[in-house]
Structure 1
Amino acid sequence: MIAVFVLIALVAVGLLVTVHWYLWRRLVRDVSAPDGLWRRVGTVLVVALPLVSVANMISSRAGAPFSVQRVLAWPGFLWLAMLLYLVLALLVGEVVRLIVRRARSVPARAAAAPDAGAVGGPPVPAEQDRDEAPEPEREPEPDSASASSGSSSSPEEPGRTPTRRVFLARTLAVGATAAAATTVGSGAYSVLNGPTLKHVTVPLPKLARAAHGYRIAVVSDIHLGPILGKAHTQRIVNTINSAQPDLVAIVGDLVDGSVADLGPAAEPLRHLRSRHGSFFVTGNHEYFGDAAEWVDHLRELNVHPLENARRELPAFDLAGVNDVAGEDQGDGPDFRKALGDRDPGRASVLMAHQPVQIHEAVDWKVGLQLSGHTHGGQLWPGPYLAELANPTVAGLERYGDTQLYVTRGAGAWGPPVRVGAESDVTVVRLASPST
């Protein structure tokens, strides 16, 4: 096991070094003079920024003081997002380079080709001996004044305007940086501005006509931590309360840290308002710390944990199972405990953090499962990767007689950035099939 961990660590470090070497080559070496200021500053940044990102990830695992984690989190995580989109933008630039190179090679080959009527090269004057090769012209040597004047304006040609190659390199570097910064900036604003409110109607088998239109506010993946704190929670609470739901379902990954550090950040949850209360199930991130500690604390905030348990509401059975990550701590999901003795004639809604738990839900004939976990991929092209590990990445799908709704979540893990996967709180409106 240790050997596997070391191998993975070496591969990760090697990949990190390779990617940053590529960034240094395209954003620093190709665009600056060897003795220029940007060469020195850019080189320092290419070394320092990944070190900050690594230190940030190590600090959270090593139990560093929360104040230290907060200092490292912003630059450390944001650089990882910038790194992703810088590399993607520069790879697009490589295609542009190839196109320009091909375009330039066409007239160059045409100019090098001999005239159609000439054979064996240009004609030799009659008075010149055919066996004597013409002496090549010598370029005039620059005088001392012109050689010493001017400053180095490109990495290749001091004292002269940049070559076309350098001009292209600088244009692509500036364009890639601007594109990455704009993408990350807008993605961060999307997270920090709070989730959008979505509405979806789900026909629920066996739901009584009187309960038609029952509304559940589904929120997941809030991820309180060194970056997202009390203000983030308050925005989510305001969004939920504005919808005036009948019930609030928090389907895991509420926190990334301890109650001691993040208890104040979770305090606004106390002010959630709904007709039948707020309920919670654990996600995998709760088990990175002390999940039991958070379960107890949430009870103090008037949020009711469903630990492999069921609550019989007037309209349907609301059940919840622990996340699969709890299995390593002897606290995993137990569908039999949550659903085994319920009345099969009643409608049922299951809270389960990960979409992969849908297969057990189908076996237990659940009407609707509410999940999160995927973040909708969070950072494009993340959705394509999320599809490899989850049956549904976002939205509503049917599996047999069971429906699965997956919210994109209201926060972000790692970089506080979302691209192509807007954060949301979803109001699920239950519809009776008899209406």
Structure 2
Amino acid sequence: MALLHGYLWWRLVRGTTRPGRTRRRLTLLTAVLALLPTLAVVLRGRVPMGVAAPLDWVGYTWLGLAFYLFLAVLATEPIRVALRLFRRSREAGAARAAETQLSRRRFLALGAGVVAVGVAGTGVALANSAPVVRRVPIRIPRLDPALAGLRIVTFSDGHLSATYGGRRFERLVETVNAQRPDVVAIVGDLVDGDVEELREDAAPLADLVSDQGVFFVTGNHEYFVDTAGWLAHLPTLGIDVLRNERVPIRRGGASFDLAGIDDRTAAASGLPGHGADLDAALDGRDDDVPVVLLAHQPVQVEQARAAGVDLQLSGHTHGGQLWPFDYAVLLDQPAVEGWSQQGDTQLYVTAGAGYWGPPMRVGARPEVTVIELQPGDPVRPRR
């Protein structure tokens, strides 16, 4: 925060104002703005939702805007260098040269501000828009033809919180139901608060309609809150929590195994019995029956590949959420979004339905994915 806001102050305050009252006031404003996102993080879960909501909205919105303002100002640096190198010699006189330089700095700052507000504003609109529906046919060699066309409707990263819920989450549930799912799979990071705070926001989950059930696996954010409370509450909404276990999904005499494991971070949570255990989930299964695995983080496909899992469904990445963070995601995860082949295991990473931190999405729309299973050799689905 200090480095980000220090750079913005240097270019947008110090570089465009003269010493005096205006600079002092803008310096104070910059300091306050730097403090707001920090307070939003530090006070999470420690203050009532009525206090957290406005703080989160202002603090995180500014953080997203500040990030794009940083990128926009950074992009002007070559222009600043060029202007200094090619300054016309006829600009004689120190006063006139200083005034011209100040005007140029203000013009560049204004341009950067317009670009940043435009990008961040578009991101806010997209993050709060209806999720796009992506239909992805996935072929599984061992799948019984009787299961052809079975639909697994999946979403992740709802991040119900002080800034996301209400009508937007109801709309998400309606979008899922409209796909007429055979199975609904929620692959983690559903909540960013305790049951008492988000009970009403989570209530639409009870309206999910599926022929063969609604299933959930934990994400890393479930371990930032009252994990036990949520794992007890979700079944009251008709959601089956898969913790290192599997269930059969049947159509007539044909079936496949739907397995779910805890998040990658669960073992470090300190909660007894929590931790991803794929061996336990697959213990005793018929190796001739296909298995679809629900695992929050794409990187867990390393275990899935070793265990002979046919398909893994994941979330966690938000599709990058704020470009260009999608490139940073690849430092920790094998994929940012969409389908990929990881050895003999297919992986699909959904871009998520909500957001974390800044209430905006740039380069990654909110998404609900319809996985349509088909028998046959794997091929890359068309987007």
Larger Rg: 1
3-state SS, counterpart of residue 414 of structure 1: coil
1:309 to 205, 230, 245: 245
Hey, what does 1:345 align to over in structure 2? 288
Hey, what does 1:409 align to over in structure 2? 352
Count of aligned residue pairs for this structure pair = 371
Hey, what does 1:99 align to over in structure 2? 82
Q: CA deviation at 1:36?
A: 5.6
Deviations 1:127-185 (A, max 9, x none): xxxxxxxxxxxx9xxxxxxxxxxxxxxxx96xx99832112111111111111111111
3-state SS, counterpart of residue 342 of structure 1: coil
- The two structures have a TM-score, normalised by structure 1, of 0.81
| Alignment of 1:418 onto 2:354 | no
CA distance in 2, matches of 1:397, 1:19: 35
**Higher-RCO chain (CA-CA 8 Å, sequence separation at least 6):** 2
| Alignment of 1:387 onto 2:330 | yes
CA distance in 1, matches of 2:125, 2:29: 24
Q: CA deviation at 1:40?
A: 4.3
CA distance in 2, matches of 1:393, 1:19: 25
* RMSD after superposition: 2.2
2:207 to 256, 259, 271: 271
CA separation of 1:18 and 1:432: change in aligned 2, threshold 3 A: closer
Question: Contact (CA 8 Å) 2:322, 2:362: kept in 1 or not?
Answer: yes
2:31 counterpart letter in structure 1 = V
Q: CA deviation at 1:41?
A: 3.8
CA distance in 1, matches of 2:278, 2:79: 55
3-state SS, counterpart of residue 295 of structure 1: helix
Q: Which runs of 5+ in 2 are unaligned?
A: 379-383
- The two structures have a TM-score, normalised by structure 2, of 0.92
The farther-off stretch of 329-338 and 344-353 is 329-338
Q: Which runs of 5+ in 1 are unaligned?
A: 1-15, 113-138, 140-155
Hey, what does 1:321 align to over in structure 2? 261
Q: CA deviation at 1:79?
A: 1.4
Hey, what does 1:26 align to over in structure 2? 11
Deviations 1:290-323 (A, max 9, x none): 2221111111111111111111111311111111
1:243 to 179, 191, 201: 179
Q: CA deviation at 1:187?
A: 0.6
CA distance in 1, matches of 2:241, 2:16: 57
1:385 counterpart letter in structure 2 = A
CA distance in 2, matches of 1:389, 1:42: 38
CA distance in 2, matches of 1:334, 1:18: 41
Question: Contact (CA 8 Å) 1:284, 1:325: kept in 2 or not?
Answer: yes
Hey, what does 2:34 align to over in structure 1? 50
CA distance in 2, matches of 1:51, 1:336: 45
Deviations 1:308-358 (A, max 9, x none): 111111131111111122102230111122111111111111101011111
CA distance in 2, matches of 1:292, 1:36: 53
Question: Contact (CA 8 Å) 1:281, 1:351: kept in 2 or not?
Answer: yes
3-state SS, counterpart of residue 73 of structure 2: helix
Question: Contact (CA 8 Å) 1:216, 1:427: kept in 2 or not?
Answer: yes
3-state SS, counterpart of residue 373 of structure 2: strand
The farther-off stretch of 375-384 and 63-72 is 63-72
CA distance in 1, matches of 2:299, 2:211: 30
CA distance in 2, matches of 1:229, 1:161: 54
CA distance in 2, matches of 1:289, 1:17: 28
After superposition, residues 26-425 of structure 1 pair within 5 angstroms as 26-35=11-20, 37=22, 39-60=23-44, 63-104=46-87, 108=89, 163-314=99-250, 315-328=255-268, 329-330=271-272, 331-425=274-368
Calculate percent identity across the aligned residue pairs: 44
1:320 counterpart letter in structure 2 = G
